[in-house]
Amino acid sequence: MKKKVEDLDIGTGTNISELVSNMYDSGGFVAKNVGLAVQILEDMFSGEYLNFLSFPACIVSTGTRGILKEAVKRELFDVVITTCGTLDHDLARTWEDYYHGTFEADD
């Protein structure tokens, strides 16, 4: 326990990038981990690493598909690993709109 907890300063000149980067120093669980995630992403995209993206097919049937699509289009990852179901979900989203469901729905 050597790292001191620092208060976040959200003065008028603070932008969102600075705020998120400073969250690591604020301690706690969520804020610190958001800040750590930003540091990891900065390291990942520094060009020094071979970046892998791995995900299950189920998230392609959700709005997360847009993030995955953009990440691949921008070539943010060197290697993409997924399951065959990804193709099925992607094609289904291309042909028809998907709608929110509920667990209580009667199949």
Q: Could you read off the pLDDT of 63-84 as tens digits, one per residue?
A: 888 999 999 999 999 999 999 9
61 Cβ neighbours under 8 A, 6+ residues apart: 89, 92, 93, 98
Amino acid letter, 82? T
Tell me the whole-structure pTM to 2 decimals. 0.64
What is the distance between the alpha carbons of residues 49 and 47, in angstroms, rounded to a whole number?
6
Q: What is the pLDDT of residue 47?
A: 86
- Domain ranges, ordered by start, for the chain: 1-48, 50-98
Q: How confident is the model at residue 50 (pLDDT cuts 50, 70, 90)?
A: very high
Residue-wise pLDDT for 2-31, tens only, equals 878 878 878 778 888 788 878 888 877 888
Query: Band of the pLDDT at 52, cuts 50, 70, 90?
Result: very high
